[in-house]
Homo-oligomer: A and B are copies of this chain.
Amino acid sequence: MLMHTTPAAASATATAAAAASAMQGAGRSRAAEENQRAGQAIADMLKLVHDQLMPQRRLVRAGERIYQAGEAFSHLYVMNSGLFKLVNLSADGREQVVALKFRGDWMGFDGIASGLYACDAVAMDTGEVWVLRYDEVLAACANRPALLRVLHEAMSREIARDRDSLMSVCSLPADARVADFLRYWADSLAKRGLRTDQITLRMTRAEIGNYLGMTLETVSRALSRLARQELIRFTEKGRRDVHIPDVDALAAFVQHSLAPTPTVLQ
């Protein structure tokens, strides 16, 4: 069983936590800076929305649905805290988690075109969402370019993200897909100023598998293999909490899983 932690990787792992706070290496600190900028952008966006639109706040608990597929579209939602999943359902009853939403993300865009929401938005944790009437948002945007800008950025980000998901599902083997999922989750937390070394998956293996296009057993095996390679670690009690010693090592694992040796090709 190939020991994947090469000396380089191991030292990277060991220093990662320290580096993040002490911010020693060039690449590392640039990533950290970028995350901080992103975090500031999210905070600024929330402040702008809050000040300009004075949204109604709504508290949600795990399992609550903010909107449902087929319902008439009327509102957009901005997450202030918590965690949501968006669940698409097809004509024949298949259900599929198509996106995860964190603080600062918008929900409901899928309903604009057809006038009906295309998916369910389900809270996976207690949290607070801001409720915005779409027509009021539009009205407010008319004379506030900054507001329109953040709205478009949110939609654009969603488009780009959905495509990354598609790419991951289409081109990565199971283990790498799970690794990429964890990497993305950690990244999302980092951009929001939260610690990334210890993340609590509020999803069952079945839900993760559904999101990633694989069975729950495959998710479980993939996690076990990642743990065996020390790319992740489980906390003593329970296996819902995942410790990620080094996000970069996870990212590297994803990259190398397709190109064993990046042969000099064009």
A166's partner among B145, B154, B169 (CB-CB below 8 A) is B169
Chain A contact residues, majority secondary structure: helix
Q: Please state if A156 and B111 are interface contacts (CB–CB under 8 Å).
A: yes
Instruction: Report the minimal beta-carbon distance from A191 to chain B, rounded to whole angstroms.
Output: 13
Contact (Cβ within 8 A) A96 B155: no
Which of the segments A7-15, A77-85, A87-95, A229-237 contacts the partner chain?
Answer: A87-95
Contact string against B for A residues 138-160, beta-carbon threshold 8 Å, 1 for contact and 0 otherwise? 10011101001100111111111
Give the residue among A110, A138, A160, A211 with the most B Cβ atoms within 10 A: A160
Do A163 and B113 touch (CB < 8 A)? no
Known: A91-B255, A153-B112. A118 touches B167 (CB 8 A): no
CA distance A159 to B93 in the complex (A): 20
A119 in the interface, Cβ–Cβ < 8 Å?
A: yes
- Interface contact A112-B152, CB-CB below 8 Å: yes
A residues sitting closer than 8 Å to B (CB atoms) are 86, 88, 90-94, 96, 98-99, 109-114, 118-119, 138, 141-143, 145, 148-149, 152-160, 162-167, 169-171, 210-213, 254-256, 258-259, 262
